Structure 1
Amino acid sequence: MPAVVRVELLTRPGCHLCDDARAVVRRVAEQTGVGWQERSVDEDAVLLAEYSELVPVVLVDGRRHAYWTVDADRLRAALTGPRRGPTWLRR
């Protein structure tokens, strides 16, 4: 059974920071057994408008976790700690 995708990496072609972020996300996802996917902001007008100046961007469970650089320990903690639901469910 494939791992549930919890991490989304938003990138742009030719972005050297994206290459670095991809390596960190791939490694942490493999260590934690979490699925991940990569999307180019250039292929989605909404993503492009929101994130074009921030790539690479890491979303965890649909929430912005990091941009420009990815800290492996912080990402690992976010994936192994308690999951946070949508903000509208919090009190």
Structure 2
Amino acid sequence: MPPAAVPSITLTLIGKPGCHLCDDAREVVTTVLAGRDAVQFDERSILDDPELHDRYWDEIPVVLIDGDVHTIYRVDAERLQAALAERGH
């Protein structure tokens, strides 16, 4: 049996509790990431990190791929899948 894939991409969802757009974004992200072991998913709240709050408070949810902004506000599943496919995942 081959060894499990080591995540080579980090996808970060930045939002906050009680944000309906963040909930929608999380649903799209988790659906797109299902079965993609090579992508590490990290969720961060602007309420827990002053730097993230100052940077993104008026743009959440924000999706980062390897630290680069991919999406602000609404996550499009097809666009996210295409971005991951471009990176070989």
> After TM superposition, is the score higher than 0.5?
yes
TM-score tier by shorter-chain length is 0.7 to 0.9
Unaligned ranges ≥5, structure 1? 84-91
* Aligned residue in 2 for 1:89: none
Counterpart amino acid of 1:65? Answer: H
Q: CA RMSD in A?
A: 1.7
* Aligned residue in 2 for 1:68: 73
Percent of aligned positions that are identical: 43
Moved over 3 A (4+): none
* Aligned residue in 2 for 1:19: 23
Q: How does 1:1-91 map to 2 (within 5 A)?
A: 1=4, 4=7, 5-33=9-37, 34-82=39-87
Counterpart amino acid of 1:75? Answer: L
- TM-score, length-scaled by structure 1: 0.82
Aligned-pair CA distance for 1:82: 3.5
Q: Residue deviations 1:7-62, cap 9 Å, x none?
A: 00001110000000000000111144322111101111110000000000000111
Unaligned ranges ≥5, structure 2? none
User: Which protein is richer in helix relative to its size?
Assistant: 1
Q: Distance in 2 between matches of 1:32 and 1:23?
A: 15
